[in-house]
Structure 1
């Protein structure tokens, strides 16, 4: 019996070591176009992955499903969750949320989100992404979407203090070609994209990737369509008892990245902090207490 709260992607990661070579081939094919690649008939998905139908059936059972129909239903539910809007999310929580005060339910949901997010972060991937964020030989670009642009702005404010050569791309996609024009191989693009995923962000990622830019994606548990072109993709759990998704786990990951980037090049960063404080004193931007 499979865990009803686990996504198929999580189950694949959990059971990957026990899969045969053919089963891993199907798993890779599924993840390359997830979850759409698993929504056709079992014969079609097997043919698309160039494996046999029994291979697909065996792998599905290894993941804990009784058969392919139950496996496919799980993928359909994930796809439905991906495209759901605020009204559908609220209706789901109203009918399925546990009893108790909203504050308690909210706190439990946030705690679960943080735990799931941390559990699914690969430390080596995190460290590799941080090295790219700290690498001043290339320029760092930061961009977000309709909701996540607030996270992008927060990220830019900190990274601009930590390192040189940081660019905050505007929220207007009409201006993005001007930024892409100056992108070169060795640059890094930090992107935020959560459901409902934005087609303009996906196109930006594709254009940047074509120019050799390394993409670091922060997305939700269902994964933005940008993920296939990203060098590093981090999934943050976001569901809460609300019509809106939560940015708490996303912010946790971002702040961890900011802290790690600061430490990666601390000698240079400390010097920048000192010089920045001198400038703040000269402009009298902040009140000083003696």
Structure 2
């Protein structure tokens, strides 16, 4: 069954048009899908912290006739999955039991990748590429407590591809100094996942007031920055861990890096040649022994 036609896929693709209580229910249902959606309507409502009328209202908004129809579709999905040998994939780590963290994490990551790709519009991706390749404007990149490593990764590659790229230091007290140089048409790339950081929201507001375009990398619940961002990449981060997973977000970042350098290859190639000469001069790397 296509990812777009599963009940889980329908819930996630409809997230933006749900009310606050319905979003709370949607999050509960998709967190441990499908088991979280197989209880009684009363149990599901209690576990999500919503009322039973909210459950009924949401499943109808999703296009189902009612709660029984909603669960019937889930049972149909399970029957298809269990009876179709193609859907029974091998363990990712052959020498590890199915319940091993390597296999559980791999399964979660593959599911996250599929869900993320199903929600990214190519027009949004191309818009982000065009903004980042335009060398007439300056690019600023900033991350949060955890995502600053992703921001640095993107910055390192963008430095090679184009001039005028700045990695904003992870010290909010210095951010007004960066904003001082921002002008209309510049681009601010923000990485912000739960728990969303107030200082990043403030920086984005200041940048927006100056006419700066924002490209946001966030999770399924969406950072408050999404309200004014030019492009939003909503990435699945759930994993069998106490931490959110950055694997799929890094995948999107790397795809974007490739798109930017391909779109501006002539400039990128010249800069790469120049950089190689500088690296040779600095003797940064060991030369292979002949």
TM-score by length of 1: 0.71
Query: What corresponds to 1:166 in structure 2?
Result: 165
1:36/1:272 Cα in 2 relative to 1: closer, same or farther (>3 Å)? farther
Task: Quote the offset at 1:160 in angstroms.
Answer: 0.6
Task: Quote the offset at 1:101 in angstroms.
Answer: 1.6
Task: Quote the offset at 1:5 in angstroms.
Answer: 3.1
Greater RCO (Cα-Cα under 8 Å, separation 6 or more): 1
Using the alignment, how far apart are the partners of 1:152 and 1:250 within structure 2?
11
Task: Quote the offset at 1:36 in angstroms.
Answer: 7.2
Which ranges of structure 2 fall in alignment gaps of 5 or more residues?
25-55, 68-97
Using the alignment, how far apart are the partners of 2:64 and 2:206 within structure 1?
39
Listed one character per residue, the Cα deviations across residues 182-220 of structure 1 (whole Å, up to 9, x for unaligned) are 100010001100011111111111110111000000111
Specify the SS of the correspondent of 1:159.
Answer: helix
Superposition map of 1:153-192 within 5 A: 153-192=152-191
Listed one character per residue, the Cα deviations across residues 13-65 of structure 1 (whole Å, up to 9, x for unaligned) are 7xxxxxxxxxxxxx4xx6xxx747978xxxxxxxxxxxxxxxxx988624146
1:9/1:116 Cα in 2 relative to 1: closer, same or farther (>3 Å)? closer
Task: Quote the offset at 1:118 in angstroms.
Answer: 1.1
1:38/1:114 Cα in 2 relative to 1: closer, same or farther (>3 Å)? closer
Superposition map of 1:201-212 within 5 A: 201-212=200-211
Using the alignment, how far apart are the partners of 2:155 and 2:206 within structure 1?
21
Query: What corresponds to 1:113 in structure 2?
Result: 112
Using the alignment, how far apart are the partners of 2:172 and 2:10 within structure 1?
32
Query: What corresponds to 2:8 in structure 1?
Result: 5
Which structure has the larger Rg? 2
Task: Quote the offset at 1:103 in angstroms.
Answer: 1.4
Task: Quote the offset at 1:222 in angstroms.
Answer: 1.4
Using the alignment, how far apart are the partners of 1:59 and 1:37 within structure 2?
6
Moved more, 280-289 or 229-238: 280-289
Listed one character per residue, the Cα deviations across residues 107-133 of structure 1 (whole Å, up to 9, x for unaligned) are 100110111111111011101110001
Task: Quote the offset at 1:4 in angstroms.
Answer: 5.5
1:244/1:38 Cα in 2 relative to 1: closer, same or farther (>3 Å)? closer
The alignment status of 1:236 with 2:239, answered yes or no, reads no
Task: Quote the offset at 1:6 in angstroms.
Answer: 4.4
Report if the CA contact (8 A) 1:12-1:63 is conserved. Answer: no
1:38/1:66 Cα in 2 relative to 1: closer, same or farther (>3 Å)? farther
Report if the CA contact (8 A) 2:10-2:62 is conserved. Answer: no
1:65/1:195 Cα in 2 relative to 1: closer, same or farther (>3 Å)? farther
TM-score by length of 2: 0.71
1:7/1:182 Cα in 2 relative to 1: closer, same or farther (>3 Å)? farther
Query: What corresponds to 2:274 in structure 1?
Result: 275
Using the alignment, how far apart are the partners of 1:173 and 1:125 within structure 2?
29
Q: What RMSD over aligned residues (CA atoms) do the two structures have, in Å?
A: 2.7
Which ranges of structure 1 fall in alignment gaps of 5 or more residues?
14-26, 40-56, 69-98
Report if the CA contact (8 A) 1:139-1:188 is conserved. Answer: yes
Query: What corresponds to 1:224 in structure 2?
Result: 223
Moved more, 137-146 or 116-125: 116-125
Using the alignment, how far apart are the partners of 2:180 and 2:190 within structure 1?
18
Query: What corresponds to 2:135 in structure 1?
Result: 136
Query: How many residues get paired?
Result: 226
